[in-house]
Amino acid sequence: MKQLKIMPSSGDAVKAQLLRGDVDWALSAWSGAEQDYVAKDPTHHLYQKYATGGAYALFYNTAEAPFDNVHVRRALAMTIPRKDIVTTLQRPGTEAGPTGLVDQIYGDAILPEYRGKVQPVDAEGARRELALGGYEVKGGKLVKDGRSYAPKLSFNQDFVWDPYANMMIRSWQQHLGINVKPVGAPGANLYEQQQTGAFDLTISTTGGAGIPGVYSALSSRAYRPLGKMAATDFGRWKDGATDTAIDRLLSSSDAGVIRSAGQEMQRIVAEQVPYSPIYNSYWFILINTDHWTGWPTPGHFSYVPFPGLGPDTTLTLLHLKRAGR
């Protein structure tokens, strides 16, 4: 007889339960899990990650200066401390690439120059970008043609994003001299601000069903003027080349056309920076195979062993077998 015992727990408690061998399966993550958990019993202790297909990203309000300038967007993107953020999140190795596509899911479709690429902080390159855009920094503000700009970064306080926002703000101050003000808000308020375009910079998520789903939010069909409610195009991106590529993605069934259009969108996101991915979203799964076998692996799976993912949870349980001892 198979029995499943569900144990309510907190992050610290489930870590202790896993290390004691009291729990066989959990959704959890912490820095050093490979050493603490896997190394303790490499044969039976598994630490797996499965990409959700989405990413947390910095969005720019491209309907307003200075974020209508590609060089400003590039400069800010080039000085996001992604490695520090994912380390603090206790999710090392999840830094996002520049295309908005996750390697684990879309690896074969990602252009070679972007595949597996992690965006390091490039302060010198970022300062060059500001100069190319005609901007200089005075008194912590971006200045051009006699006008100065004091950017604000809005983020979801419900997700306790304050420390990560502050890491980005400190990096921009350190490397570019720009003083960006943090503006945290409850999730509902932030979402309304994003929909109406009442922000300078904001943190939101990307993702969707397949490559067309990931990029379709950038279509001008989703564009709304500032003050009007936009369902997806929070950054007010409006670009002819983007529309052409997305139309090809959505209207063709030809694999070659879809691949070509997807690659064009990769270049647009990486080079024009309508938004800048920060870290990929993953489910982190810890498994003890000491009692049960038949678990999927990231290299071979048709369902995700995520306790709480509806049908995937059921399929995982149906395929488990008692370990022979």
268-325 pLDDT, tens digit each: 999 999 999 999 988 889 999 999 999 999 888 889 898 888 899 999 999 999 987 5
Of the options 3.40.630.30, 3.40.50.2300, 3.40.50.150, 3.10.105.10, the CATH number for the domain spanning 52-281: 3.10.105.10
Q: Which CATH architecture has domain 11-51+282-322?
A: 3-Layer(aba) Sandwich (3.40)
CA distance 6 to 34: 24
Give the per-residue pLDDT at 1.
Answer: 44
Burial class (CB in 10 A: 0-12, 13-18, 19+), 277: buried
Q: How far is CA 20 from CA 32, 45, 287, 304, in A?
A: 16, 12, 13, 25
What is the amino acid identity at position 258? I
Give the per-residue pLDDT at 71.
Answer: 98
Give the per-residue pLDDT at 246.
Answer: 96
Q: Is the dihedral of CA 18, 47, 82, 161 positive or negative?
A: negative
Plot region of 149 (φ>0 → left; ψ -120 to 50 → alpha; else → beta): beta
203-244 per-position pLDDT tens digit: 999 987 889 989 999 999 999 999 999 999 999 999 999 999
This prediction's pTM: 0.85
* Domain ranges, ordered by start, for the chain: 11-51+282-322, 52-281
**Percent of the chain scoring above 90 in pLDDT:** 71
Residue 120 has pLDDT above 70, yes or no: yes
Bridge-based pairing state of the strands 321-322 and 292-293: antiparallel
pLDDT tier, 10 (very low <50, low <70, confident <90, very high otherwise): low
Strand ranges, E, within the chain: 25-27, 45-60, 136-138, 141-144, 147-149, 152-156, 181-185, 201-206, 275-288, 292-293, 321-322
CA distance 95 to 91: 9
Give the per-residue pLDDT at 307.
Answer: 85
pLDDT tier, 172 (very low <50, low <70, confident <90, very high otherwise): very high
Please tell me which residue, 53 or 24, carries the higher pLDDT value.
Answer: 24
Average pLDDT over residues 44-73: 94
Q: How far is CA 227 from CA 181, 187, 192, 217, 253, in A?
A: 22, 19, 10, 18, 36
Q: Could you say which DSSP state residue 259 is in?
A: H
**Percent of the chain scoring above 70 in pLDDT:** 97
Burial class (CB in 10 A: 0-12, 13-18, 19+), 324: exposed
